[in-house]
Amino acid sequence: MMGISLDTLACAGSLAAAAGAIVLAPRRRYSGWGWVLFLASNFFWIATALGRSDVQQLVMQGILSIASLVGVWQYLIVPMHTRARFKRWAALSPSLAMDLAIRTSQRTEREPS
């Protein structure tokens, strides 16, 4: 595998998962990047599983990759589009942008944490 040992890939997968947990735990604005680190961990572990012909590990990491993709979608992509939409509204009409900001904050306050 291009000169990279399977143990090195497994170690990288473990480190990426640990880093993802550390970044995700504080629930800050940057915490969504923890899902990107989880996804990187999944890819390292998939490569390790393929190299070791470990079907169970491959299936598990495939499923966890789907969960990581959902996390990336919900924590990074959706908020990015929401901010872009707000900027477009603000450019068109400051009063419409303020109304959108108020409705968004009210919706956020009602959601359970």
Tens-digit pLDDT profile for residues 4-58: 899 999 999 999 999 999 999 998 888 999 999 999 999 999 999 999 999 999 9
pTM score over 0.75: no
Residue 106 above 70 pLDDT? no
* Mean pLDDT (whole number) for 67-72: 94
| Number of residues in the chain | 113
**Placement of tokens 């900027």 in the chain:** 87
pLDDT tens digits for 81-103?
Answer: 777 766 665 666 666 666 666 77
Please state, in angstroms and rounded to a whole number, the distance separating the CA atoms of residues 78 and 56.
Answer: 32
d(CA 70, CA 42): 13
Statement: residue 64 has pLDDT above 80: yes
Structure tokens at 66: 């789907």
**Single-letter amino acid, residue 24:** L
Q: What is the DSSP secondary structure assignment for residue 53, as one 8-state letter?
A: T
